[in-house]
Amino acid sequence: MDEVQGARTFAVAGTTYDSFMGRYSLGLAPEFCDAAGVAAGGTALDVGCGPGALTGVLVARLGTNSVYACDPSPSFRDGCAARHPGVDVRLGSAEAIPFETGTVDHAMAQLVLHFVTRPEQAAREMARVVRPGGSVSACVWDFDDGMEMLRAFWDAALSIDPDAPDEARTLKFGRPGEIRELFASAGIERIEESTLAASSTYSSFDELWNGFLAGVGPAGAYCVSLSDADRDRLRGALFARVGSPVGGFTLGAVARCAVGRVPG
Ligand SMILES: C[S@@+](CC[C@H](N)C(=O)[O-])C[C@H]1O[C@@H](n2cnc3c(N)ncnc32)[C@H](O)[C@@H]1O
């Protein structure tokens, strides 16, 4: 398949992603499954699975043979398949989901919609693969102040560079009503919105900082694009933003979630 634009900054190993964002995905996934009503006996598709945080929770609840996954990043597809042997993990985007029509009870996209180039097409595709009456769900970090790591990073960046590409300015679906509106445009019904919480504990500031140096996602890509001098200034500004920690510390995160039903 052609390279998917939103997957460009996710061409990394699963362990690299985990040190930056996957550490939050792990805690978010059970909450997301609860919101979507995932329970034993059902089948589910993880759209934009990354290296498989949500896939793993789905396997624990539904069993290997009832879980499907796809991602346009070859390294993430391979990483997810290696972590969850037996799960049918395919290379593919949300806009062209590589699974049959009406086959699963739940189509779920965790932290994906804001990277999708054609979200309306993605919502239609998610609805297409779900059986009538099944659920379509998505969650995205709250952009205002719900994701402490990203908010602290972009506030630090903006304090140095007013034109820094703050995700809260450049991406969509992190505000109330945005996922609902998208789902409604795809004919999805009975949409309910909620918020989900996650957190991650760091043993030191360097553990946090090293996550950005991996170049993952918009924040990582921006961080590694800077000159050494500017990156040092950013490091200092971020250190101050997270309270100049001398030891371990925990950052919280809130995601906006919407769950709807396919008519029928
Ligand atoms: C922040 S990661 C989330 C990964 C995983 N769902 C999780 O919760 O950790 C964003 C994911 O979206 C994927 N992605 C980017 N563009 C996409 C698209 N058009 N369709 C489906 N997935 C896409 C990336 O490859 C990456 O795996």
pLDDT at 1: 54
Render pLDDT for 75-107 as a digit per residue (tens, 0 to 9): 999 999 999 999 999 999 999 999 999 999 999
CB 147 within 8 A of CB 253: yes
- How far from chain centre, in Å, is Cα 248? 25
CB 76 within 8 A of CB 84: no
Index of the ligand 1 atom closest to the CA of residue 117: 19
Pick from 251, 258, 167: which is nearest to 209 by CA?
A: 251
Question: Which CATH superfamily hosts domain 5-144+170-199+254-261?
Answer: Vaccinia Virus protein VP39 (3.40.50.150)
Q: Which phi and psi angles does 122 have, rounded to 5°?
A: -65, -45
In this prediction, what percent of the chain has a pLDDT beyond 90? 91
Q: Rounded to two decimals, what is the model's pTM?
A: 0.96
Burial, 32: exposed, middle or buried (Cβ in 10 Å; 0-12, 13-18, 19+)? buried
Task: Kindly state the average pLDDT of the residues 148-169.
Answer: 96
Q: How many CB atoms lie within 10 A of CB 170?
A: 12
Q: Which phi and psi angles does 192 have, rounded to 5°?
A: -120, 135
Q: Which 3 state secondary structure label does DSSP give 107?
A: strand
Question: Ligand 1: does its nearest atom lie under 6 Å from the Cβ of 111?
Answer: yes
Pick from 113, 52, 62: which is nearest to 85 by CA?
A: 52
Using alpha carbons only, what angle is made at residue 46 by residues 98 and 130, rounded to the nearest 5 degrees?
65
pLDDT at 108: 98
Q: Which 3 state secondary structure label does DSSP give 212?
A: helix
Handedness of CA 197, 203, 205, 210 (dihedral sign): negative
Whether 111 has a pLDDT exceeding 80, the answer reads yes
Q: How many CB atoms lie within 10 A of CB 201?
A: 10
The residue whose CA is least distant from atom 1 of ligand 1 is 111
CB 61 within 8 A of CB 33: yes
Interatomic CA distance for residues 33 and 137, integer angstroms: 9
Task: Kindly state the average pLDDT of the residues 61-84.
Answer: 97
Rg (CA), the chain: 18
The residue whose CA is least distant from atom 27 of ligand 1 is 50
Distance from residue 198's CA to the centre of ligand 1 (Å): 18
Burial, 25: exposed, middle or buried (Cβ in 10 Å; 0-12, 13-18, 19+)? buried
Index of the ligand 1 atom closest to the CA of residue 71: 22
Question: Quick one: DSSP state of residue 147?
Answer: B
Question: Ligand 1: does its nearest atom lie under 6 Å from the Cβ of 48?
Answer: yes
Task: Kindly state the average pLDDT of the residues 15-26.
Answer: 95
Largest pairwise CA distance in the chain: 58
Distance from residue 153's CA to the centre of ligand 1 (Å): 20
Whether 3 has a pLDDT exceeding 70, the answer reads no
